[in-house]
Chains A and B, each alone.
Chain A
Amino acid sequence: MAHIKKKKKAETPPLSTASLPDIVFMLLFFFMVTTTMREVTLLVKVKKPQATEIQKLERKDLTTYIYIGTPKSAELGTEPRIQLADQLASVGDVQQWVILQREAINEAERPKFTVSIKADVDAKMGLISDIKQELRKAQALKLSYSANPAASVEELYKAY
């Protein structure tokens, strides 16, 4: 009986980690490019409504946001308020502010200027309508009611 010599187990060669920095750098650049730092600190609570017929806003730089919701700090009451940029504002400020925002962008692209209303589900239409009137006065006629995608229409009926 021939004794079969057991071969020595071949050691698996260590994995080369030389390309690890490359991979990490690739990921890093991806996130650096896609990242958008949060521009404003929200002073109001905004829980967006759900909808199914939503469209993506193409250009972020041509969009101005108006936030509507109850203030986060209790001293400011429980009534829904408007937030423009970093501060709370009243309905009367909206027109002037929207005009200023539109002036800031390139003249050729001004027709694409869009206002996105990010309002809380519990806000009342009275306030939203007032803002709509102000936007019409400011000739900012492209409007987006910001909403989160809903899984199905039935889901919307359920909550009703």
Chain B
Amino acid sequence: MGSRKRGVPEINAGSMADIAFLLLIFFLVTTTMDVDKGLLVKLPPWSEEAQEPPQDIKEKNIFVVLVNAQDQLLVEDEYATLEDVRRMAKEFIDNNGDGTCQECRGLRDPASSDNPGKAVISLQNDRGTSYNMFIKVRNELLGAYSELRNDLATRKYGRDYESLSESDKEEVNAVYPQFISEAEPVEVGG
């Protein structure tokens, strides 16, 4: 037993980098980092009978936005352009007609909404309305709420709404709860 044990020869790791690079390039090419983003919406539960507007909501507490098949807008029975929607919605939500909302800075017009808790925005569209226009209007309405919430957050906490803690956010949301209803499409014509 004179022979010395021979060590196992080392494996050359020089090509390791090449193999890793190959895999890396494969994953680089196949990867799609698309995070899905979108306008989050909550639908009302299904009911068999056609939706009747509840009788206990006063006419002045409903802000009607109509979009017809030609993508034209009718806001509160007036022709409007997309630029107007956000401002009009903000004025409507923030109006505070009965004075119960301490944080609001609205005009307190008796003909407009009582307070943000009662204000409902109703978005109605035609079957021929383009999806693009619908999303734009929906975006403006959501934007009106987020601007109001952001303003309140700046007044109250001196910070952006996004940077608030969860409990502070809830407090702001309680002042401006979001009521946007998407009515079933009707033939509003054009």
Contacts and interface: CB of A to CB of B under 8 A. Distances in A.
Is this pair of chains taken from one and the same complex? yes
Interface string A39-67: 00000000001111111110010010100
A145 B41 contact: yes
Interface stretch (A6-14, A83-91, A128-136): A128-136
Interface residues of A, number: 60
Given A36-B31, A51-B139, A124-B131, A143 B45 contact: no
Contacts of B125: 125, 129
Interface in A121-160: 121-126, 128-129, 132-133, 135-137, 139-149, 153, 156-157, 160
A142 B43 CA distance: 6
B10 interface: no
Nearest to A114: B40
A124 B127 contact: yes
Contacts of B44: 136, 141
A128 B131 contact: yes
Nearest to A24: B20
Contacts, number: 162
Given A32-B27, A51-B139, A63-B36, A125 B41 contact: no
Nearest to A126: B127
A31 B20 contact: no
A141 B21 CA distance: 45
Nearest to A145: B39
Contacts of B142: 53
A150 B113 CA distance: 31
A129 B46 CA distance: 13
B16 interface: yes
Contacts of B182: 132
Nearest to A27: B24
Contacts of B131: 49, 68, 119-125, 128
A55 B38 contact: yes
Interface of A: 17, 20-21, 24-25, 27-28, 31-32, 34-38, 49-57, 60, 63, 65, 68, 114, 116-117, 119-126, 128-129, 132-133, 135-137, 139-149, 153, 156-157, 160
8 contacts: A24-B24, A28-B27, A60-B36, A133-B184, A142-B42, A143-B41, A156-B82, A156-B139
Given A21-B17, A52-B143, A160-B81, 14 more contacts: A21-B16, A32-B27, A35-B27, A49-B131, A51-B38, A51-B135, A57-B37, A123-B130, A125-B128, A129-B185, A136-B46, A139-B45, A142-B42, A144-B39
